[in-house]
Amino acid sequence: MSKLGNLGARLHRGEVGYDFVKNRKIWYGLSILITITAIVGLTVRGLNMGIEFQGGAVFNTPKNTSASVSQAEEYAETASGHDAIVQKLGDGSLRIQVAGIDTDAANKIKNTLADDLKIDSEQINAELVGPSWGEQIANKAWQGLGIFLILVVIYLAIAFEWRMALAAFVALIHDITITVGIYALVGFEVTPGTVIGLLTILGYSLYDTVVVFDSLKEQTKDITKQTRWTYSDVANRSINSTLVRSINTTVVALLPVGGLLFIGGGVLGAGMLNDISLSLFVGLAAGAYSSIFIATPLVADLKEREPQMKALKKRVLAKRAQKGETPQTGEAEELYAEEPADAAPAVVGPRNQPASRSRGRGRPSGKRR
């Protein structure tokens, strides 16, 4: 842990680093590949919509029901003539879902299940869900998502600039597409818990992105007054300075969510935990990835197209060619060497005091003329 903390401090000071922006085409290609895979999975397999969105009935058996999941599934499908989803809960009870049935059919299925499971029909709790209610949930979820995205774009455009707002929007769409595609590929049921998880990860996805953008905004003040760094160089330093912080916050958030997913959902068999935790787990990981590899490099691409940034890049490259310099990500130098003396430096880092070139020139050592 001490080595990780030391690495984080060195990254923040600019002593070491990785050129994320330079290799942005690799990250773009990887993201496009993952996104296409998610879209193909969503198109081919589709989403396994829960009963809340399709309508139907849910039957909950008493605790410690002796029948297995496969037996209960066979009984339910035989009684209803529809596909059934059966989950064994932690207390030994069974949760049986049958979609596309009405009230009369639900009562018949309940009595048949009671006979097959050898229990009293009064011990089976039946809940009916209408498809219109599920449609209302879906519409509200889409409305909430749309309003959230609009507000986020407006806020980022005001607090930062429209290029950062556009990059954050692309990163959010990237995260949502991957999360929904994973749901389609894995085959997990989409329930209101899934919708809650999807809406929750949007905030987590933005968190790391805004942290990097804030650092980038601070470090690019008066960037055109110097000829040492391009906008992409400063963007890369911003990613490196916040890298360990982003990794730490993501890992800390993933640990309890992973516990819910693999222990609560996998071992204890709690269905609702699966619905929420999978979307949170995938969304958190995708959000951390997009803030580092997608959002900030995309901002750098957009900014480098500005006439001012093009002129700055031309001056920087000309100066480097004149001096024969090669830009190093981890150079610990003052960023704005040509700024006025009263200007605040945009990148904090150790400053090396240059040795005087005229001291002692033309006189013997230790002697005074």
Of 70, 13, 59, 3, nearest to 332 by C-alpha is 13
In this structure, the answer to whether residues 174 and 236 fall within a common structural domain is yes
In this structure, the answer to whether residues 202 and 277 fall within a common structural domain is yes
In this structure, the answer to whether residues 86 and 6 fall within a common structural domain is no
In this structure, the answer to whether residues 115 and 140 fall within a common structural domain is no
Of 123, 298, 283, nearest to 203 by C-alpha is 283
Residue 245 belongs to domain with CATH number: 1.20.1640.10
What is residue 369's DSSP assignment? -
Tally of domains in the chain? 2
In this structure, the answer to whether residues 92 and 238 fall within a common structural domain is no
pLDDT beyond 70 at 336: no
pLDDT at 60: 86
Of 190, 155, 153, nearest to 172 by C-alpha is 153
Q: Which two tokens stand for residue 142?
A: 């889409």
* Local confidence band at 362 (pLDDT 50, 70, 90 cut-offs): very low
pLDDT at 73: 86
**Mean of pLDDT values over 202-214:** 83
Of 188, 144, 152, nearest to 168 by C-alpha is 152
pLDDT at 11: 60
- CA distance linking residue 107 with residue 16, whole number of Å: 68
299: left (phi over 0), alpha (psi -120 to 50) or beta: alpha
In this structure, the answer to whether residues 32 and 105 fall within a common structural domain is no
- CA distance linking residue 76 with residue 68, whole number of Å: 12
Of 247, 155, 254, 248, nearest to 210 by C-alpha is 155
Of 192, 260, 187, nearest to 54 by C-alpha is 192
Does residue 312 sit within a domain?
Answer: no
Does residue 347 sit within a domain?
Answer: no
CA trace torsion 7, 325, 22, 156 (10° rounding): 80
In this structure, the answer to whether residues 67 and 171 fall within a common structural domain is no
In this structure, the answer to whether residues 203 and 298 fall within a common structural domain is yes
* Local confidence band at 6 (pLDDT 50, 70, 90 cut-offs): low
Q: Which two tokens stand for residue 84?
A: 């059934």
| Residue 84: Cβ within 10 Å count | 21
Residue pointed to by tokens 């008066």: 222
Does residue 213 sit within a domain?
Answer: yes
pLDDT beyond 50 at 359: no
Interstrand relation of 189-190 and 48-49 (parallel, antiparallel or unpaired): parallel
Of 323, 301, 299, 322, nearest to 310 by C-alpha is 301
- Which of 279, 307, 335 marks a domain boundary? 307
Please state which of the ranges 88-102, 107-121, 165-179, 206-220 shows the lowest mean pLDDT. 88-102
Residue 191 identity (one-letter amino acid): T
> Please, which residues bridge with residue 97 across strands?
58, 85
Mind listing the pLDDT tens digit for each residue in 135-175?
777 788 778 888 888 888 898 889 888 999 999 999 999 98
Mind listing the pLDDT tens digit for each residue in 23-68?
888 989 999 999 999 999 888 888 877 777 777 888 888 887 778 8
Of 204, 346, 350, nearest to 281 by C-alpha is 204
In this prediction the pTM is: 0.71
Sequence-ordered list of residues with C-beta below 8 angstroms from that of 147, at least 6 positions apart, any chain = none
Residue 56 identity (one-letter amino acid): G
Does residue 218 sit within a domain?
Answer: yes
- CA distance linking residue 35 with residue 28, whole number of Å: 10
Q: 269 and 185 in contact (C-beta within 8 Å)?
A: no
Does residue 369 sit within a domain?
Answer: no
pLDDT at 266: 55
Q: What residues make up the domain containing 139? A: 2-49+133-307
